Amino acid sequence: MDKEKLNKILNTIDEMGDSHVGSCNDTPLREDAFEMDDQLKIELIAKHFKEIMHVLGLDLSDESLKGTPLRVAKMFINEHFKGLNPKHKPHPTLFDNNFQYGEMLVERDINFYSTCEHHFVPIFGKAHVAYFSSGKVIGLSKLNRIVDYYSRRPQVQERLTIQIAEEFKDILQTEDVAVVMDAKHLCVASRGIKDDSSSTVTASYHGKFKEAQIRKEFLKYIGFGDLG
């Protein structure tokens, strides 16, 4: 392939990535995504990442570098992208709302770490979630686990926000759910424009949270009162 044609393809891919092209709210996965076991995935990723390092000109016989391909492969499968595999999905238990608490329940400042699917660099920030009980509640830590599960995969923030909201609606058996995410993107901070001071805010409001007054109350609780 000649250099001009290659550059045209690379430019097209880069433009598509920056435009946040996406087909749906589900993470794009092949039908055979989980036919291969994790150990084989680790072995193959290590092999290919070793080749990437070789192409970059790194000396893989160096004591500091020779274990890197395997470390990266394990990190991808066991940590950064473990949310791709449904076997890691939390299955929280619902409890009766014995206190008959009918007000908004908010958990704010949930730390999350994800990965930009366009450049494979980190996205990190805070998630804020709220719901009105339909007669059932779940343990607070399970809210964190659900945010973490959907974060641990290649993502765009818009999809991540929607996926978390839809999961809460399903688990909590209510439409009265809100999710706001405020995140830094290293694809913005460390490359391209190199703006490390900006953050991206996304939201998904459902049920009662579509009402202006209730949404304003939620935003005040999480310190976004000026957005209400």
80 is catalytic: no
CA dist 51 → 32, 37, 111, 134, 195 (Å): 25, 22, 34, 53, 31
Active site residue 24: no
CA atoms within a 13 Å half-sphere pointing along the CA-CB vector of 228: 17
Identified catalytic residue from 80, 128, 163, 187: 187
Q: Which of the residues 80, 116, 128, 167 is marked catalytic?
A: 116
Identify the active-site residue in 80, 118, 128, 167: 118
Catalytic residue (one of 128, 157, 163, 167) = 157
Residue reference for tokens 């706001």: 180
Q: Is 128 a catalytic residue?
A: no
The active-site residue out of 119, 128, 163, 167 is 119
Q: Are 214 and 103 in contact (CB under 8 A)?
A: no
Q: Is 155 a catalytic residue?
A: no
Q: Is 119 labeled as catalytic in the residue annotation?
A: yes
Query: Which is catalytic among the residues 117, 128, 155, 163?
Result: 117
CA-CA distance, 199 to 167, in Å (whole number)? Answer: 24
Is residue 48 annotated as part of the catalytic site, yes or no? no
Closest to 136 measured CA to CA, from 178, 167, 93: 93
In whole angstroms, what is the distance from residue 14 CA to residue 119 CA?
A: 9
- Tokens representing 113 are 């770490």
Residue of 80, 128, 155, 185 with catalytic role: 185
Q: Which residues are catalytic?
A: 116-119, 157, 185, 187
